[in-house]
Amino acid sequence: MTRTRRRRRLGVVLAVVAATVLAGSGCSVIQVTGPYTVNDNQGGGDPLNKPFQRMIAIAPQPGWGPEDTIRGLQAAMAAYADDPSVLAGYLTPEARAKWTAAGPVTVIQDAYEVAVPPPRESETTVKVSLKGHYVALINEDDSYKPTAGPWERPFELVKMPEGYRVSNLPQGLLLTESDVARAYRPTNLYYVNRSTQDRLVVDRVRLRLKTTETFAQTVLERLLQPPTEALRGAVTSSFPAGTKIESIRSGEDRVIISLSGPLSSLDLTATTTLTGQIRNSLSTNEIAKGRTIEIVVDGETYTTDRPDSDDRWLDDDVGDSAYYVSKGAVHYLTKEGRGGAVAGAAGEQRDGYDHFAVSAGPNPLIAARTSTGISVAGIAPEGVWQEVIRGDDLTPPTWNRDGSLWTYDGKNGVLLKYDPSRNRVEPVEVPEELDKLDVNQFRIARDGVRVAVTTGEETVQIGALTGEGAGTKLGNLQFLTTTDTGNEIRDIAWRDDEHLLVLVEGTAGQTLNEINVGDGETTGVPLKDRLQSVAAFKDQVLAEVATDNGNKLMVLNQDQQTWTAKIDSDAGTPLFPLG
């Protein structure tokens, strides 16, 4: 078969239709002969929905060869969630009885190859191979995990009177990048910080759009379930077990969410938290944004949340004051640039103190690493340095939003937590594998839950502080990024609860990447100068640059592409509270 004939034939293996879910009325379908791109802004006026393209696959045809059959099978996998019956037609009865769609969804690049051996006369069984490149896995908890490298999967087909059928199909669905872009949406869900109960924590997932319900319903149904594995044990929810979503309706200026279950309007804290989870999970996904949300429980109004209501759950009340280090002394950074030294010992020039960190709150503390341990000083005239953790192989200090100070003792393989209110240091349980790794940096995000850990010179892992009180421990470690051999991760900094800046230095120069820790989405930040360190807080990114006249401080401009000098000389390590 020529390549031209194959391409023409495969044009009818599947059809793509545009489907906009209409609450209570199924979907509107426009059948086309090829891909049909729908602008995501064309929502049909319904604030609860996101338009999408629905894949419609067709059954295998008697005249198809092995390659056409495998490509048709893959199209049937893309359509499986909407219509599982088509895929079954590609399998032999034995394969159909064994196969299940359960398990992670494998995502590969669009351009894949079906390798078919030369045909042999009277041969009824054909072994083919589908080759491509990994993109990601979508796990059963809806987490999206990027991966890379070549990918290959063998298939066995049997020639039957009605055409080729697959006799051995590995478990799980196989989708292409385009399949995922068409049918899934990156979605932020919000749970509650288990330890402090004062902050919502974002959990990023990939949710499949459905023809049977609005996207708002899909989001809230998933919100009723446990978080992804990355946050298990670290967050909780205000929805009691047994809560059900009965309906979601939209009016001219409001969204009405009807729930049932053991919800009590007498618990004001739980009511406020539940509203915060709902509003932020809907609004940050551009659903019901700027609209009043009315929650009804068992037919009666439970609470009403207006868009101008005070929502403290995502406020960064840690403060956005910026600092920098000059000749061993910590200084304030002003809008104009250079500021004065902070009050107390932390503002005095001295040698032997480095890797400073600032706590949150109206009366912040400064921590610094020395040759013998970690010392702390208050920003006040009477503030003096006091060594609170001893050790000669400690990671740079990091503050948690609850006021505790943390560091990893590499010499003894133990994570240490210092509580200033009790002037006490306690060990914190860590995964066994961490004891075998060279931990260089340990940074707690401003949500008080997520933790970034650099191991060796080339790897960043993301974990979470699980449990609470004396039962707090570090868990859920997962790889975030690994550099090429010979490169070094020079610095990391939390920009916000979702994004980590990673500064990598190699023989070819430096790269600064902003990585979404929820799904690995990476954006490069252009560099002109060689950076020594970085610090960030939301839209503010500061960097230290070495010059012949001493270090200078640079600021990333709003275009996220260019840098401007903030202080031209004698300005070292930039600092923000926490992160």
What is the 3-class SS of 214-247, one letter each residue? CHHHHHHHHHCCCCCHHHCCCEECCCCCCCEEEE
Of 256, 277, 305, which marks where a domain is finished?
A: 305
Phi, psi of 478, rounded to the nearest 5 degrees: -140, 145
- Looking at the fold, whether 329 and 296 belong to one and the same domain comes out as no
Residue 202 lies in a domain: yes
Residue 50 lies in a domain: no
Query: Could you list the residue range(s) of the whole structural domain that residue 233 is in?
Result: 192-305
Copy the structure tokens of residue 357.
């960190």
Give the pLDDT of residue 376: 98
Provide the domain count of the chain: 2
Q: What is the pTM of this model?
A: 0.89
Q: Which of 468, 518, 543, 30 is nearest to 235 (CA)?
A: 468
3-class secondary-structure state, position 269 = helix
Residue 204 lies in a domain: yes
Which tens digits make up the pLDDT trace of 403-457? 999 999 999 999 999 999 999 999 999 999 888 889 999 999 999 999 999 999 8
The DSSP line for 374-411 is EEEEESSTT---EEEEE-SSBPPPEE-TTS-EEEEETT
Which tens digits make up the pLDDT trace of 491-548? 999 999 999 999 999 888 999 999 999 999 999 999 999 999 999 998 999 999 988 7
Of 305, 331, 356, which marks where a domain is finished?
A: 305
Is the CB of residue 217 less than 8 Å from the CB of residue 288? no
- Looking at the fold, whether 266 and 338 belong to one and the same domain comes out as no
Residue 63 lies in a domain: no
Contacting residues for 552 by C-beta, under 8 A, at least 6 apart: 544, 545, 565, 566, 567, 568, 569, 571
Copy the structure tokens of residue 536.
């960030």
Compute the CA torsion angle 59, 63, 109, 56 (nearest 10 deg).
Answer: -20
Residue 536 lies in a domain: yes
- Looking at the fold, whether 197 and 332 belong to one and the same domain comes out as no
Residue 252 lies in a domain: yes
Give the pLDDT of residue 10: 41
What is the CATH number for 377?
A: 2.120.10.30
Is the CB of residue 303 less than 8 Å from the CB of residue 295? yes
- Looking at the fold, whether 412 and 500 belong to one and the same domain comes out as yes
Place of tokens 């920098």: 324
Long-range pairs of 413-418 with CB within 8 A, sequence gap ≥ 24? 415/442, 415/474, 416/389, 416/391, 417/472, 418/374, 418/376, 418/388, 418/389
Place of tokens 């252009």: 526
Residue 151 lies in a domain: no
- Looking at the fold, whether 559 and 420 belong to one and the same domain comes out as yes
Place of tokens 């949406």: 185
Give the pLDDT of residue 212: 86
- Looking at the fold, whether 352 and 420 belong to one and the same domain comes out as yes
3-class secondary-structure state, position 204 = strand
Of 271, 305, 339, which marks where a domain is finished?
A: 305
Contacting residues for 431 by C-beta, under 8 A, at least 6 apart: 463, 474, 475, 477
- Looking at the fold, whether 238 and 342 belong to one and the same domain comes out as no
Alpha-carbon span 143 to 141, nearest angstrom: 6
Give the pLDDT of residue 520: 95
The DSSP line for 442-463 is EEE-TTSSEEEEEETTTEEEEE
- Looking at the fold, whether 263 and 356 belong to one and the same domain comes out as no
Residue 501 lies in a domain: yes
- Looking at the fold, whether 344 and 260 belong to one and the same domain comes out as no
Contacting residues for 252 by C-beta, under 8 A, at least 6 apart: none
Per-residue pLDDT of the chain (579 residues; tens, 9 = 90+): 433 333 333 443 444 444 433 333 233 232 323 333 333 433 455 668 777 677 788 999 999 999 999 999 999 999 999 899 999 999 999 999 999 999 999 999 999 999 998 877 777 899 999 999 999 999 999 999 999 899 999 999 999 999 999 998 999 999 999 999 999 999 999 999 998 888 899 999 999 998 888 999 999 999 999 999 999 999 999 999 999 999 999 877 889 999 999 987 767 778 889 999 999 999 877 788 788 999 999 888 888 988 877 667 776 666 668 999 999 999 999 988 999 999 999 999 999 999 999 999 888 999 999 999 999 999 999 999 999 999 999 999 999 999 999 999 999 999 999 999 999 999 999 999 888 889 999 999 999 999 999 999 899 999 999 998 889 999 999 999 998 888 999 999 999 999 999 999 988 899 999 999 999 999 999 999 999 999 999 899 999 998 877 799 999 999 999 999 999 998 989 999 998
- Looking at the fold, whether 294 and 328 belong to one and the same domain comes out as no
- Looking at the fold, whether 349 and 265 belong to one and the same domain comes out as no
Is the CB of residue 23 less than 8 Å from the CB of residue 214? yes
Give the pLDDT of residue 25: 28
333, HSE (Cβ side, Cα atoms, 13 Å)? 28
- Check residue 278 and give left, alpha or beta (phi > 0: left; psi -120 to 50: alpha): alpha
- Looking at the fold, whether 329 and 301 belong to one and the same domain comes out as no
Compute the CA torsion angle 32, 67, 172, 76 (nearest 10 deg).
Answer: 20
8-state DSSP, 76? H
Query: How much is the CA Rg of the chain, to the nearest whole Å?
Result: 28
